[in-house]
């Protein structure tokens, strides 16, 4: 049974939140884009993808992203299912950084570190729906958010948008941000958990993956980069040639949760970051990006998480491919810079292409 969300916003919830120091009552809704037998549903809570339905090799329609049935569950979510995360995705060591001689102290929400922008990062806020066009060959939806100076400790006002566009069986994701008055770090990421066999089909260990990154950013025990890169060759991280996830994961204590430095680095044109193939369903997912890195995560923090239709997600129930700048780049000058100067615009593009292999 598929999650019975509607064609447009079928149900709107209102609840009290604190924003910019004052109480407000924003509305949260569900929205859909559809082209043929391909449909994607969203919520403006975190500008999230909540379902993505497309056929398998037998023509059966299935939802291939992990998620929940209700808005309340998304509001209480700690997994970032389908979210747009920021102002700075991934981890910032020690929840602080120095920019232009000023020390900025952030709010720690992962031990002593900051994860995905802090406890009230972009994935845990209400976005505005600026445009929602569900007609023609390329339906799209645009969410916007204004981040204020000092929000979660980050400097400067920031205007943010994310646009999802469907074309055929492809979904384009364009994340943009403009620094309005101060230099600030920006690193947005899309955080869907994918299971090409269907969100309720079990683990992803039989999925075959290829990642176009010859190096990873080494991390300490808290997953904070050391500043050094290491070759993947001869390690469980080597997916330069397609291989099943399960064939190499045994060499790791929990599973995968690492940033790959993509070959070619940041680019103006989209390049392939990873390809995933599920033999049983025949689905193939190719992720392209203009960013220098991709975080490969096999969801080992999911333990008894009740999801859609009552299905309970366990570790390795899905995989994330979060295209991004390098984690903790604000504290590593040798990493590609994430600092956005006033008046400049950050653009992060992703293209997620789905095909069928017999």
Task: Give me the residue label for tokens 């980050």.
Answer: 154
Task: Characterize 117-138 residue by residue with b for buried, 16 or more Cβ atoms within 10 angstroms of its Cβ, and e for exposed.
Answer: bbeebbbbbbbebeebebeeee
Measured distance between the N- and C-terminal CA atoms of the chain, rounded to whole angstroms: 25
Which is catalytic among the residues 116, 191, 332, 348?
A: 191
Paired strand residues for 1: none
Distance CA 327, CA 151 (A): 20
Cβ atoms of 118 and 109 closer than 8 Å: yes
- Point out the catalytic residue in the list 32, 151, 322, 348: 322
β strands within 235-304, DSSP E: 243-244, 257-261, 271-277, 283-289, 293-297
Between CA 295 and CA 78 the distance in angstroms is 18
211 contacts 273 by C-beta, under 8 angstroms: yes
> If we measure between CA atoms, which residue out of 15, 3, 150 comes closest to residue 66?
3
d(CA 341, CA 319): 33
Residue 69's nearest CA partner among 194, 201, 199 is 199
* 191 counts as catalytic: yes
Cβ-proximal residues to 108 (8 Å cutoff; 6+ apart), any chain: 95, 114
Q: Are 167 and 138 in contact (CB under 8 A)?
A: yes
32 is catalytic: no
Check: CB of residue 309 under 8 Å from CB of residue 200. Answer: yes
Residue with tokens 């955080």: 191
Q: What is the C-alpha separation between 304 and 199, in angstroms, rounded?
A: 14
Return d(Cα 152, Cα 311) in angstroms, integer.
Answer: 34
Instruction: Cite the active site residues.
Output: 191, 322
């Amino acid at each position: 049974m598929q999650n019975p969300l509607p064609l447009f916003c079928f149900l709107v919830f209102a609840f009290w939140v604190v924003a910019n120091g004052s109480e407000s009552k924003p509305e949260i809704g569900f929205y859909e884009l559809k082209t043929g037998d391909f449909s994607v549903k969203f919520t403006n809570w975190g500008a999230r993808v909540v379902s993505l339905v497309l056929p398998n090799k037998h023509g059966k329609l299935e939802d291939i992203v992990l998620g929940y049935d209700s808005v309340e569950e998304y509001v209480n979510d700690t997994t970032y299912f389908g979210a747009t995360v920021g102002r700075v995705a991934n981890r910032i060591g020690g929840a602080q950084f120095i920019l232009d001689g000023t020390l900025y102290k952030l709010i720690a929400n992962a031990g002593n570190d900051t994860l995905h922008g802090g406890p009230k990062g972009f994935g845990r806020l209400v976005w505005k729906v600026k445009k929602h066009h569900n007609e023609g060959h390329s339906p799209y939806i645009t969410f916007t958010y204004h981040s204020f100076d000092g929000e979660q400790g980050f400097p400067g006002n920031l205007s943010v948008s994310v646009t999802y566009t469907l074309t055929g069986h492809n979904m384009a994701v364009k994340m943009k941000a403009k620094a309005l008055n101060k230099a600030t770090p920006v690193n947005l990421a899309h955080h869907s958990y994918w299971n090409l066999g269907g969100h309720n089909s079990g683990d992803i260990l039989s999925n075959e993956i290829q990642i176009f990154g010859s190096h990873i950013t080494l991390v300490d025990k808290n997953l904070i980069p050391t500043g050094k890169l290491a070759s993947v060759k001869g390690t469980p991280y080597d997916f330069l040639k397609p291989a099943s996830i399960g064939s190499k994961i045994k060499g790791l204590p929990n599973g995968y949760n690492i940033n790959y430095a993509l070959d070619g680095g940041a680019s103006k044109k989209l390049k392939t970051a990873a390809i995933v193939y599920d033999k049983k369903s025949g689905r193939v997912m190719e992720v392209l990006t203009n960013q220098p890195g991709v975080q490969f995560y096999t969801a080992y923090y999911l333990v008894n998480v009740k999801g859609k239709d009552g299905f309970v997600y366990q570790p390795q129930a899905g995989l994330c491919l979060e295209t991004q700048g390098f984690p903790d780049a604000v504290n590593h000058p040798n990493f590609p810079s994430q600092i956005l100067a006033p008046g400049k615009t950050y653009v992060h593009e992703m293209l997620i292409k789905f095909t069928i292999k017999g």
